[in-house]
Amino acid sequence: MTVRPSRSERASIALRRVLWIAASVLRGLTILAVAAAATVAVAGLGWLIDTPPRNGSEWGARMVILGALLAPPALLLLFVAGLRDLGRLPERTRTLPADVSARARDLREHARRVAQPRGVLGAIMALFHLGREVIGSRDALSPVGAFAIVLRPAMLLAALFAALAAALEIPAAIVSLLILAVT
C-alpha cells in the first residue's frame, strides 16, 4: 500500500518546481541578454573597422544605432536584476525592522548636524548629505519597491519585446559579421 503525500508536501514539491523553473528562466534570460549585447557589440566594432566613419555626424549616427541595438539587452538585464531583487524580498522583509531603526538614527543625526549653524556653505553641504541619506533610505523603508517596477504590465510587455528583439539580434549580428568578412 502506497501512502499519498499530504497536501503541504505536494505544495512544497510544486513550489520547489516553480522556483527551479524560475531560476532556469532567469539564467536563460541573462545568457540571452549577454549574448545579444556581445554579438551586437562585436558586429558594431566590425562595422566600424570595415568602414570607418568619415566625419563627426557619421560617428554620432553610428553610436545612436549601436545604442538602439544595445537597448533591448540592457532592458532585459534590468528586468532580470529586478526579478532577482524580488527574489530577495523575504530576506529584506525579515531584516526590515533593524534597517528602519538604523536609518532613523542616521536621519536624526544628520538632521541635528543640519540644525547646527556652520555657515551657509556648511548648511548647504549638510542639507545635501541629509537628502542623500533620505533617498538612500527608500530601499529600507519600501522593500516592495521591486513589485511596483518589475510586475507592472508595461514592464512585463517591454521585457517580452526586449527578449524577442535580443533573440533576433543574435542571428542578425552574426549574419552581418559574415557579410563583413566576405566583402
- pLDDT for position 112: 64
- pLDDT for position 140: 53
Q: Digits of tens for pLDDT over the chain (183 positions)?
A: 677 888 888 877 887 887 788 888 889 999 999 999 999 999 999 999 998 999 989 999 999 999 999 999 999 998 888 888 777 766 665 665 566 566 667 666 766 665 565 666 665 666 566 566 656 655 555 555 555 666 778 888 999 999 999 999 999 999 999 999 998
- pLDDT for position 101: 64
- pLDDT for position 22: 80
What is the grid cell recorded at 10?
Answer: 505536494
For the chain, what's the residue count? 183
- pLDDT for position 164: 96
Q: What is the mean pLDDT of the chain?
A: 80
Note the pLDDT tens digit of each residue in 128-156: 665 666 566 555 555 555 556 667 788 88
Give the residue carrying C-alpha cell 538612500: 136
Of the chain, the percentage scoring pLDDT greater than 70 comes to: 64
Whole-model pTM?
A: 0.65
Phi-psi category of residue 176: left, alpha or beta, with phi > 0 → left and psi -120 to 50 → alpha:
alpha
